[in-house]
Structure 1
Amino acid sequence: MTAPKRRKARANGEGTIYQRKDGRWEAAGYVLAADGSRKRVRVYGTTRRETADKLAERIADSNRGLPVATADSTLGDYLNYWLNSVAVHRLRENTHTRYAACVRLHLIPGLGTKKVARLTARDVRTFLDRLRTTCQCCTQGLDTERMKCCAVGECCQKRLSPLTVTYVHSVLKSALEHAVREDELPRNVARNVKTTTHQPRRFRPLTATEARLFLDAARADRLHALYELALRTGLRKGELLGLHWEDLDLNAGTATIRHSLQRTRTGGLTQLPTKTRASERRIALPTECLHSLKEHQERQERERKEAGPTWRDSGLAFTTPTGRPLDPANLTRRFRCLLNRAGLRHIRFHDLRHSTATLLLEQGVDLVVIKELLGHAHIGVTAGVYAHVRPRLQREAVNSLTEALGQGGTGRMR
């Protein structure tokens, strides 16, 4: 009878691994922690190989000098680790910048000294309540340099909006969710805290009459084709500015949305992927847009000749007179001037997108078609954003049915 083959002993530094009484596998080893010390971490899995691979990955990251947050870390250390080692690889740069500001201004001052493993739902709820009711000028010393208001004992009561408090809560939930996935925490305590629902931002889309006035005023503008596209197709500002001529098939009458032009903190004006996977789409172009785009193409060719050697060929459909990308902030300023010339009330550029969807809904276009045109990831997003339109459409539908059935109700069933 042959003796059972003994498993090869793990080398020094590879950690330990064993099977628990509940059948799961557990492995432990020492890694570089977020505070610079070396701490023992534990990982779990359903098989020995899976668990060993998890631990090996942690140790490999540690050997490359990448810190691994542990449950013994303070929340401040863990959030910095998560931002710089995890979130930075998963988020768009502008989103990462907003997350970092949220962590720096609110989460670390409010919860940074708490141990991750000892954080409770009550801690999170107390923090959010305090954030909701505390003057931010007092908390962050915003008036100190100017010696105004809060700095001289006259609190301005500048509180965070419910939307911002919800955003802070969502950032904390995202960070702790990573700790749960990495088996550092058994559950995400931030998910057990319910924040008060905030009122969605109200937008005031253009009416059909206002939309016609806007398009009439835009015809004299150099960027007439851009405004026409924005109102007739609902493209986002970044998608419009990121359109290349190769994305436009003027013969087939289609546009393929692949990129978005954004200004980032490190790269300046940068071509980025679309907002979501659903945002990458092909849309049909109205006849009016095809005419204005052809005119715009001819104008751009004249500008190219006039600019001569100063022309910078970017391949973009909408550029400055010398071929350079248009800055989103400059487009916003131009848009406000156009509204003034048209004698229209001030709205955001993004409200052109809302105007497109609202006008289409009022014309009876199916919600699924609008969802695909706008590039929403889920139809629930479309239905939620434009919920304010549905009651009016329902009333019109009910009134139509009343007309069809008659108002007297005197007919007898046969």
Structure 2
Amino acid sequence: MTAPKRKTARANGEGTIYQRKDGRWEAAGYVLASDGTRKRVRVYGSTRREAADKLAEKIADSNRGLPVATADSTVGDYLTYWLGSVAVHRLRENTHTRYTACVRLHLIPGLGTKKIARLTAKDVRTFLDRLRTTCRCCTQGLDTERQACCAIGECCQKQLSPSTLIYVHSVLKSALEHAVREDELPRNVARNVKTTTNRPRRFQPLTATEARRFLDAARADRLHSLYELALRTGLRKGELLGLHWEDLDLNAGTASIRHSLQRTRTGGLTHLPTKTRASERRIALPTECIHSLKKRKERQDRERETAGSAWSDGGHVFTTPAGRPLDPANLTRRFRTFLDRAGLRRIRFHDLRHSTATLLLEQGVDLVVIKELLGHAHIGVTAGVYAHVRLRLQRQAIDALGNALSPTDNDPDDPPDAAVVR
């Protein structure tokens, strides 16, 4: 007769660990919740050790004063925890700011009081439908504050755009996906809800004629080299403003794109990593850009002499007359003024990048080359954004082939008429 197996004693603070009927192991213990109280949290694993390690990690975070999401957390509590303890370490600062605004304005008012463990796909679908059809002023209480809109019975029907609705849905999916990965939820119910497909933003790139006019007008502008580099290489605004002279090799004719200059709420003008890993790249510089950049260097040397001790030397290629880096918002305003003064059509600065890709496609440049130049992470991004251009080129190619195959009256390749034998 075998002796009964002795249960392993649990360490102090280890919590409760047992095997479920489905074969998985469950561990439960008390941790600091996002509302400041101590609540019971449950985690799961395929082995006892895995469940114990997951619980130990949460208890360690709790002991350091970090709030931990629990099974009975509300959606609002969990989103607050996720933004402050998870997303803040994984997102760029400006992206985290947009996520925070989305949670504050839409997700917490709409779903914040529901228990996250009891959230259903129907709850999410109902929330999104209500968000789609409800006036923004009324939803956020702005009508009451201003005594307008629904407060006086004259609703302005200012509804969220389809793209904003998709953005709200994506933020919720990201938060719940983390809960699934951490075994706090069995599934991501937001993934079972389909939203309307977002129509890509229409842009109107410069035509070849307009691009030539643009470059001619830019020659008289102080930022001539910046505008020319933007149109001829398709660099993003932040990548252009983040360029340092050490990133350029004007003798070899190359530029290394290593970072992006952005304005953030906490750090002001800050050098951040490029948008994606693929965006960190080395590109070939057109001959025209090499010449204009050399002139830019000469002009900057003169500005340094004029500014004297007031010069702020940060090594940037594009600066103010005092050597400070250009603010992205100021560049946008200057670009708009330049277009008006030159009598050119109003476009966004980012449309210069679209113009580069469109003109290259129309010249028959391979899509892979354009992807590498623009720094897209996947060729599918390039193909998707410029699908309309490729379709137009396909139509031109088909029409050209049709013209070649059309019969003509005096086709030299036609066989001679057969001789009549009498």
Q: TM-score range by the shorter chain?
A: over 0.9
2:287 matched residue in structure 1: 287
Question: Does the CA-based 8 Å contact 2:234-2:353 persist in structure 1?
Answer: yes
2:52 matched residue in structure 1: 52
Matching residue's letter, 1:140? Q
Q: How many residues align?
A: 411
Distance in 2, Cα, partners of 1:278 & 1:407: 49
Matching residue's letter, 2:85? S
Q: Deviations over 1:187-209 (max 9, x none)?
A: 00000000011221111111111
Provide the secondary structure at the position in 1 that maps to 2:235.
coil
1:158 matched residue in structure 2: 158
CA drift of 1:23 comes to 3.9
Matching residue's letter, 1:247? D
Q: Deviations over 1:222-254 (max 9, x none)?
A: 111110110011111001000111111111111
Question: Does the CA-based 8 Å contact 1:141-1:151 persist in structure 2?
Answer: no
Distance in 2, Cα, partners of 1:52 & 1:164: 41
Are positions 1:95 and 2:111 aligned together? no
Are positions 1:269 and 2:239 aligned together? no
TM-score with structure 2 setting the length: 0.93
1:108 matched residue in structure 2: 108
Distance in 1, Cα, partners of 2:301 & 2:401: 54
2:177 matched residue in structure 1: 177
1:68 matched residue in structure 2: 68
Question: Does the CA-based 8 Å contact 2:25-2:48 persist in structure 1?
Answer: yes
Are positions 1:125 and 2:128 aligned together? no
1:217 matched residue in structure 2: 217
Distance in 1, Cα, partners of 2:48 & 2:5: 17
Provide the secondary structure at the position in 1 that maps to 2:255.
strand
Distance in 1, Cα, partners of 2:18 & 2:341: 74
1:2-401 matches, cutoff 5 A: 9-401=9-401
Matching residue's letter, 1:280? E
Q: Deviations over 1:290-327 (max 9, x none)?
A: 01011001111111111110011111111111111101
CA drift of 1:147 comes to 3.3
Question: Does the CA-based 8 Å contact 2:14-2:52 persist in structure 1?
Answer: no
Matching residue's letter, 1:100? T
Q: Deviations over 1:249-270 (max 9, x none)?
A: 1111111111111111111111
Distance in 2, Cα, partners of 1:368 & 1:272: 26
Distance in 1, Cα, partners of 2:390 & 2:20: 56
Matching residue's letter, 2:331? L
Provide the secondary structure at the position in 2 that maps to 1:213.
helix
Question: Does the CA-based 8 Å contact 1:320-1:326 persist in structure 2?
Answer: yes
CA drift of 1:82 comes to 0.6
CA drift of 1:337 comes to 1.1
CA drift of 1:11 comes to 1.5
Distance in 2, Cα, partners of 1:83 & 1:312: 37
Provide the secondary structure at the position in 2 that maps to 1:261.
strand
Distance in 2, Cα, partners of 1:5 & 1:295: 84
Distance in 1, Cα, partners of 2:329 & 2:358: 25
Distance in 1, Cα, partners of 2:21 & 2:103: 40
Distance 1:10 1:338, change over 3 A: same
CA drift of 1:22 comes to 4.0
Matching residue's letter, 2:248? L
Question: Does the CA-based 8 Å contact 1:17-1:27 persist in structure 2?
Answer: yes
Indicate the percent of aligned positions where both proteins have the same amino acid. Answer: 85
Question: Does the CA-based 8 Å contact 1:217-1:341 persist in structure 2?
Answer: no
CA drift of 1:19 comes to 3.8
Matching residue's letter, 1:87? A
Distance in 2, Cα, partners of 1:128 & 1:135: 13
Matching residue's letter, 1:155? C
Distance 1:366 1:57, change over 3 A: same
Distance in 2, Cα, partners of 1:225 & 1:130: 49
CA drift of 1:21 comes to 4.5
Provide the secondary structure at the position in 2 that maps to 1:388.
helix
The answer to which of 95-104 and 140-149 deviates more is 140-149
* C-alpha RMSD over aligned residues: 2.0
Provide the secondary structure at the position in 2 that maps to 1:389.
helix
Which has the higher Rg, Structure 1 or Structure 2?
2
Matching residue's letter, 2:334? R
Question: Does the CA-based 8 Å contact 1:176-1:190 persist in structure 2?
Answer: yes
Matching residue's letter, 2:274? T
The answer to which of 284-293 and 22-31 deviates more is 22-31
Matching residue's letter, 1:73? S
CA drift of 1:41 comes to 1.7
Distance 1:129 1:219, change over 3 A: same
Matching residue's letter, 2:355? S
Matching residue's letter, 1:52? A
Question: Does the CA-based 8 Å contact 2:125-2:193 persist in structure 1?
Answer: yes
The answer to which of 398-407 and 179-188 deviates more is 398-407
Question: Does the CA-based 8 Å contact 1:262-1:269 persist in structure 2?
Answer: yes
CA drift of 1:398 comes to 1.2
Distance 1:305 1:123, change over 3 A: same
Question: Does the CA-based 8 Å contact 2:107-2:168 persist in structure 1?
Answer: yes
The answer to which of 400-409 and 107-116 deviates more is 400-409
Question: Does the CA-based 8 Å contact 1:242-1:259 persist in structure 2?
Answer: yes
Q: Deviations over 1:323-372 (max 9, x none)?
A: 11101111001101111122111111011111111111111111111111
Matching residue's letter, 1:355? S
